[in-house]
A and B are shown apart, each in its own frame.
Chain A
């Protein structure tokens, strides 16, 4: 069996997950507001997902979304 190299860490949401729940669970050592802010900045594919009718952000986290819990890794 081969070894997996390190890739950017992500999670799949569990039932009831919002930004705050994920922040508390995945970034327990960071103040919650700051942790939420970081999560949102790392997950613009979710946070900035525009609803085309309104033209602005607003979509909640979907149960199928990939949520990154760290910034992009530095390229080698």
Chain B
């Protein structure tokens, strides 16, 4: 008697080899047989017409806080994602002393657009060390977690407030090495750092005050464990990105570690730049380095309202300053003042082409409800004003609760994005899952890969795409016994319909602690998801109590 048998499915085993028809049997959390399985099982799933694949691995998320109130990382699990990597971009929730909690919340709010209220009302701060944080999230954990240690947080732990404005002394670097070892021993999958991010004061995050010797010393510790270094480079400039990937490549070779940088976007106006970056990636791999560029599958769509800061306006200090630092009434006053309004409009002149394309997607009051779904161009014509004036007027009328959608802001050239995603040295990732929750949905990127790029655009085969988000990711991150359907492997499995898998429409849902909202996309075409052999989610039964693990597991 097996615990689970999935019968009659089309097995896409994660290796990239052609799919084949077989049953999959599971016992004690592991795959024990793939082929014809006659024996009975406690749970039998009929997967006729469906694909049976390894659970997907998302290597770039910010679910750090959400895991404290939601061990499923909803809705990621329902999309077939069975392993997530939080702690990217120099930010993790541990190790973290009590006096730095609000500092970190501020950075998460600024960089990852996580609401302050969600932290205030959804988080019970009962840990400081990394081991204590791991013990904390293990309670109710239904998804596997491969957590990174944030470099900015590590600096704060060792250097205190000095982490925010100076390089570390030799003793402090040694202290960071010791704490990083403790984190890796407690289950950390690696270290993350950032060269671009700003804190809640719009000053460089602590990791940007590290000199190269500090990063080298921390990479040496990663080398002792063979663990990952993730960075955020200056992705807006090809020369800077190439300089960073050269820096990463040297660290990778010197310390024999895998490294990854994210994001790498491709737009119609930067194809040559992306080609230059990828040429350098190839050269560095040929040299023996491991420098994995992460490319997201979804196009850039940004929603915003003026009640919260939006990264869409970060290039325009007049706008961003008032959104970031202005109280609600100050923002309203800034829009009401004719002179100030004219200055704002002039400053954002580069967005003049964008305003008419913005779509009004949500309002608070009935008076404007009929306008929802129209573009600002259409609304402006109805009102006899300019599109940007229509945007500001609507924001005033709605007490700043008018939401606008800027769709197709980039990374939306299917041919170029598809070419990148299929590149053997591109790591499919950079979803940012759990972050930017008031700007766009960071869930469903795997559905978009398998639905849009495999089924619709045919940029790659189903087998190649599954390999990208399963065994490739497991191999890149050194996660053992996952990412393949093979006897002996842990039974992280997703059953989906290749004809319908996708991401659903973006929805604005109020499920964030503190009466907060977020943009999400429900899964589509995914039938069932198993973590360690246990049902974790299905269309029929919803979320179920599976047991997620901390990966890659205890250090060797």
User: Which of A's residues lie within 8 Å of B, judged by CB?
Assistant: 1-5, 7-8, 10, 12-15, 45, 50-53, 55, 59, 62-64, 66, 68, 72, 75
**Contacts beyond the supplied A1-B288, A66-B240: 20 A-B pairs with Cβ under 8 Å:** A2-B285, A2-B287, A4-B283, A4-B284, A4-B287, A5-B280, A7-B280, A8-B243, A14-B211, A15-B211, A51-B203, A52-B320, A53-B202, A53-B321, A53-B325, A59-B204, A62-B204, A64-B207, A64-B212, A66-B195
| A51 CB contacts on chain B under 8 angstroms | 202-203
A12 to B243 CA separation, bound complex (whole angstroms): 10
- Binary flags per residue of B45-57, CB closer than 8 Å to A gives 1, else 0: 0000000000000
Partner of B240, one of A2, A3, A15, A45: A45
A9, closest chain B residue (CB)? B243
The 7 tightest CB contacts between A and B, nearest first, are A2-B286, A52-B202, A63-B211, A66-B243, A55-B317, A10-B243, A12-B212
B214, closest chain A residue (CB)? A63
The distance from the CB of B214 to the nearest CB of chain A, in whole angstroms, is: 8
A10 to B272 CA separation, bound complex (whole angstroms): 20
| B287 CB contacts on chain A under 8 angstroms | 1-2, 4
Number of A-B contacts (CB under 8 A): 77
| A45 CB contacts on chain B under 8 angstroms | 234, 237, 240
B234, closest chain A residue (CB)? A45
| A8 CB contacts on chain B under 8 angstroms | 239, 242-243
A10, closest chain B residue (CB)? B243
The distance from the CB of A57 to the nearest CB of chain B, in whole angstroms, is: 12
A48 to B176 CA separation, bound complex (whole angstroms): 32
Q: Is the CB of A75 within 8 A of B240?
A: no
| B210 CB contacts on chain A under 8 angstroms | 63-64
The distance from the CB of B370 to the nearest CB of chain A, in whole angstroms, is: 38
Residues of B in contact (CB 8 Å), total 38
B276, closest chain A residue (CB)? A7
Contact A66 B244, CB 8 Å, known A2-B287, A15-B211 = yes
| B195 CB contacts on chain A under 8 angstroms | 64, 66
| B244 CB contacts on chain A under 8 angstroms | 66
The distance from the CB of A38 to the nearest CB of chain B, in whole angstroms, is: 16
| B198 CB contacts on chain A under 8 angstroms | 52
Q: Is the CB of A63 within 8 A of B202?
A: no
The distance from the CB of B107 to the nearest CB of chain A, in whole angstroms, is: 15
The distance from the CB of A44 to the nearest CB of chain B, in whole angstroms, is: 10
User: Which of B242, B243, B283: most chain A CB closer than 10 A?
Assistant: B243
Which B residues from 175 to 233 make CB contacts under 8 A with A? Answer: 195, 198, 201-204, 207-212, 215
Chain A CB within 8 A of B246 CB: yes
| B288 CB contacts on chain A under 8 angstroms | 1
The distance from the CB of A26 to the nearest CB of chain B, in whole angstroms, is: 14
